[in-house]
Amino acid sequence: MRPWVRIVSACTIDGRIASSTGFSRLSCEYDLKRLHMHRAECDAVMIGARTAEIDDPMLTVRLVPTKRQPIRVVVDGRLSCRTSLRLFRTAREIPTIVFTSERADPGKIRELKDLGVNVEVVGHEKVDLKAALEILYSRYGVRKLLVEGGGNLNINLLREGLVDEIYVTVTPYVFGSGVSIFNGDGYKDTSECPRFLLKDVVICECGNCVVLHYLIER
């Protein structure tokens, strides 16, 4: 068993979630509030190692009322993230999990555990994402998982059939290069890629962004 998986992302008109310099602040104030509503609705929030390194996010609910903070989850196959990240420094207050592989340095695992981080080793070369989701479900009680990118984690989850729905906010910008919302080994044509079913379209209160809600067809 695994949690329901929801990807939420803000991208440019050309589908980029970050520019070539790593700039990624695309959301307007209304979109940020929506993101915090998603966080409040989910049991855990997952990000990839590069997003953790570049953005140094807290992944907490701050802009809407909430009864509890979601568990924070980082997928970091080589355990390359700095231990000084805010997520790790606050792990004693808010549960924080790192999924890594057997490539991780045991010394770094100890360092993170000393900070109060739950470190789970799943997989040899890469993190076995299916096993990671099963652990979230059975060991941590996660039923609804919010994935906040980046593009590499998103495509890896999609390729393994582990995504149930996506919310994409298309913002009024174009980067022309950078990281796309699903970034990695691609599909060769439409017959290979999963089918997305449009569930809802909302024009943002700012009047300049569109939120697309798609379900993945099974």
Ligand X SMILES: NC(=O)c1ccc[n+]([C@@H]2O[C@H](COP(=O)([O-])OP(=O)(O)OC[C@H]3O[C@@H](n4cnc5c(N)ncnc54)[C@H](OP(=O)(O)O)[C@@H]3O)[C@@H](O)[C@H]2O)c1
Query: Measured between alpha carbons, how far is 111 from 73 in angstroms, rounded to an integer?
Result: 17
Does 17 bind ligand X (CB under 6 A)? Our answer is yes
Pick the closer one to ligand X by CB: 58 or 92.
Answer: 58
Q: Which residues 6+ apart lie within 8 Å of 121 measured at CB?
A: 100, 101, 102, 104, 109
Cβ neighbours, 10 Å, residue 179: 24
Binding mask 79-118 for ligand X (x = CB under 6 A): -x--------------------x-----------------
Give the residue carrying structure tokens 């290069």: 177
Name which of 104, 96, 140 is nearest 122 in CA terms.
Answer: 104
Map 120-180 to HEC letters: EECCCCCCCHHHHHHHHHHHHCCCEEEECCCHHHHHHHHHCCCCCEEEEEECCCCCCCCEE
Write down the least CB distance from residue 68 to ligand X, Å.
23
Query: Measured between alpha carbons, how far is 16 from 10 in angstroms, rounded to an integer?
Result: 8
Does 48 bind ligand X (CB under 6 A)? Our answer is yes
Does 151 bind ligand X (CB under 6 A)? Our answer is yes
Does 183 bind ligand X (CB under 6 A)? Our answer is yes
Cβ neighbours, 10 Å, residue 3: 22
From 31, 43, 55, 120, residue interacting with ligand X (rule: CB under 6 A): 55
From 2, 3, 6, 24, residue interacting with ligand X (rule: CB under 6 A): 24
Does 46 bind ligand X (CB under 6 A)? Our answer is no
Does 49 bind ligand X (CB under 6 A)? Our answer is yes
Does 6 bind ligand X (CB under 6 A)? Our answer is no
Footprint of ligand X (CB under 6 A):
9-10, 17-18, 22, 24, 26, 47-51, 54-55, 75-78, 80, 101, 126-127, 129, 148-153, 156, 179, 183
